[in-house]
Amino acid sequence: MSFSLDSVEQLNIPEVVFYTTSACGFMGYLHYGELVARGYVPLTECISEGVLMICWPFFAEQQTNCRYACPKWEIGLEIEGDVTREKVAKLVKILMEGEKGKEMGKKALEWKEKARLAAKPGGSLPEFGVFD
């Protein structure tokens, strides 16, 4: 069994995939959350679903997305430096069990509601459904 599957088993948490810079898969989980792999689409999906994020900005707009998601909107935590199982486990525990995670969860739900209102008919994103 891989170290990542061992980790999720030891921490008694389900799994989700995010990608390291070497494009290798790593298993971890954050409630029903998503570790931001890259780009605007995962960011907007997380916001519109009220999902907390663990961000590891590496390339292009990931840095900007992380700056908004983490310190500005307070709906994510950043992995700093190299990713280790200890760092991931610590952030997952903060988001799933800690007071900070509960507060961030409330903010994520506020952003979810803002996204819902913006996307509904007559909302601030009238062209939102054009791509359906």
Residue 71, domain extent: 3-117
What is the DSSP pairing of strand 53-55 with strand 34-36?
Answer: parallel
**What total of structural domains would you count in the chain?**
1
For 92-125, the pLDDT digits (tens) are 999 888 899 999 999 999 999 998 888 888 877 7
Say how far apart CA 41 and CA 46 lie, in whole Å: 9
Q: What is the CATH number of the domain that holds 112?
A: 3.40.50.2000
Which distant-in-sequence residues (6+ apart) come within 8 Å of 72 by Cβ? none
What is the DSSP pairing of strand 16-19 with strand 25-28?
Answer: antiparallel
Q: Enter the pTM of the model.
A: 0.62
